[in-house]
A and B are shown apart, each in its own frame.
Chain A
Amino acid sequence: MIPVTSKFKNNRLKDKIFRWYGFLCTLTGVILLFIFLYSILAEGLDRLNFQFFTSLPSRKPSDAGILVALIGTLWIMILTTIIVVPIGLASAIYLEEYGKKNKFAAFIEINISNLAGVPSIIYGLLALEIFVRIMGLGRSLLSGALTLSLLILPIVIVATREALKSVPNSIREASYALGATKWETMWNAVLPSAAGGIFTGIILAISRAIGETAPLVVIGAMLYITTIPTHPLDDFSVLPVQIYNWLSRPQKGFIENATAAIIVLLGITFLMNSVAIYLRNKWQSKVKW
């Protein structure tokens, strides 16, 4: 009669061990993040002053600032959003709501997921050929935004499709039964219901885009530029490229600048992710199926 009990005990023990093991694993990520944040903040926080935000790059670390890169990043955010949203939404809506569910659709679906996993530098090479050389857009903001749009398009499509999928069919039926066409159903019933998920997806994708360095270096974002871009065809730099540039300098002052710029970039990314989380929660509480 004893064996049963001992097996139970054994299972309990396993349960306990796993619980602690899992807890420690979870902690690893969090601890590393805090160490990282601490070291960055300790080194760069002092450098974050008004001068740092409003100065152009300079040879002297203490005169240099992130103005050009910051404005470049804002430009890129806006242009990328303008390019990626209509294309991404339309593709997702077509695939999810209009396209027939056949083998071809399944093939496209797999490939979109594959595209989301292609290393970003490959997109840079593609963009260098197409946008910079063939289309003759040069090393401009527009080239950069197009490159990043290409990079995050699969993410936007996948997120939008997920959001559309989560809208129950009963909502579509309700709309059709009131005499709505497919288009009207999409615009008036399905998209508003899916908006939370779609916005969240777009924001997360954009926040990924503004952190990208490699593809922009490939297409020729400026490592050193002292003019603020005022036009989509202007030369540009962005925060991660600026950080990359400073980190490759020998002077200690530039390393300090780089950490300060990292704080700014992290700040922007965290802010965008918080907005995404806020939107998602807000929508979830509003839309209960």
Chain B
Amino acid sequence: MQQEPIISVKNVDVFYGNHHVIKNVSLDIFPNEVVALIGPSGCGKSTFLRLLNRMNDFIESFRMNGQIYIENKNIYTRHVQVEKLRKNVGMVFQKPNPFPKSVYENVVYGLRIQGIKDKKYMDGIVESMLQRVGLWNEVKDKLHQSALALSGGQQQRLCIARTLAVEPSIVLMDEPTSSLDPISTATIEELIFELKQHYTIVIVTHNMQQARRVSNKTAFFYMGELIEYDDTINLFTNPKVDLTHKYITGKFG
């Protein structure tokens, strides 16, 4: 059964000024997949991730050619409402970045932006989202305390809950565990595993074990090019390109 891809990237080039950072990349991502983007630092994987919710727009020298379709709509046209796109394509960052507000206010931030005021509805969202990220039991008694008092791992799960609260269909994760300890990392990885029932996830990671553990498909980037994109199991056990083989066996990187 061949589904429609939820994300379809066609011949994309990205420049920062004269710097060519993404070179003619095309790839399709299907619903409820977890796709890992791997590659050495500076290979363009984070830039690529940020293309998908147009976070690169903030960089002044940013230019792009090619098309990116999300749910069959080209997201780089004038008519696209970027805010709506970002609501549908959530993002979790490298370092946990909760707002200096209460746990509760962090989760409902996106809802308040949309003008939702119904307290009961928000209470429900807070509970269900914190349940979904496995944080509810830990924080249910401190919903109105500052989110900054939580541990790093808890903060990152809170950030995921905050992202999920606006009901995205795609979640982008930019090295979400790189600043966390191994136990918190394991918790987040399990969470990613559960989340793929509801969401399509694209995750940038430096950690190849992590890519292997959480993803169905892996894309290997090198110097702005997409070198290989395949089922994770194939890519790691039987890479078709020599460069991929060298990278995953630690010959460079």
Cβ–Cβ contact A192 & B101, under 8 A: yes
B56-81 residues with Cβ-Cβ distance < 8 A to A are: 58, 60
Chain A contact surface mostly: helix
Residue in contact with B55 in the complex, picked from A173, A188, A189, A193, CB distance below 8 Å: A173
Using known A-B contacts A173-B55, A176-B55, determine if residue A184 contacts B99 with beta carbons closer than 8 Å.
no
Using known A-B contacts A170-B95, A188-B113, determine if residue A178 contacts B166 with beta carbons closer than 8 Å.
yes
**Interface 1/0 per residue, A189-204 and B, CB below 8 Å:** 1001100000000000
Contact surface of B with A, Cβ cutoff 8 Å: 53, 55, 58, 60, 83-84, 86-87, 90-91, 93, 95, 97-101, 109-110, 112-114, 146, 148, 159, 162-163, 166
Alpha-carbon separation in the docked complex, A178 to B101 (Å)? 15
- A179 lies within 8 A of chain B by Cβ: yes
| A to B CB contacts below 8 Å, 28 in the list | A170-B95, A170-B97, A171-B99, A173-B93, A173-B97, A174-B93, A174-B97, A174-B99, A176-B55, A176-B86, A177-B55, A177-B90, A177-B93, A177-B163, A178-B86, A178-B87, A178-B166, A179-B87, A179-B113, A188-B112, A192-B99, A192-B100, A192-B101, A193-B99, A193-B100, A286-B100, A286-B146, A287-B100
Beyond contacts A177-B53, A178-B163, A189-B99: 13 other A-B pairs, Cβ-Cβ < 8 A, are A170-B93, A170-B95, A173-B91, A177-B86, A178-B87, A178-B109, A179-B83, A180-B83, A180-B113, A188-B109, A286-B148, A287-B100, A288-B148
Cβ–Cβ contact A184 & B93, under 8 A: no
Chain B positions within 8 Å of A174 at CB level: 93, 97-99, 159, 162
Alpha-carbon separation in the docked complex, A245 to B83 (Å)? 60
Interface size on A, residues (CB 8 A): 21
Closest chain-A Cβ to B32's Cβ sits at a distance in Å of 21
Alpha-carbon separation in the docked complex, A173 to B59 (Å)? 12
A157-186 residues with Cβ-Cβ distance < 8 A to B are: 168, 170-171, 173-181, 184
The 7 A-B residue pairs with the shortest CB-CB distance in the complex, in nearest-first order: A179-B87, A178-B110, A170-B97, A177-B91, A287-B100, A179-B83, A179-B86
Chain A positions within 8 Å of B100 at CB level: 171, 192-193, 286-287
Closest chain-B Cβ to A287's Cβ sits at a distance in Å of 4
Chain A positions within 8 Å of B159 at CB level: 174
Cβ–Cβ contact A179 & B162, under 8 A: no
Please give me the residue from chain B that is nearest to A195 by CB atom: B100
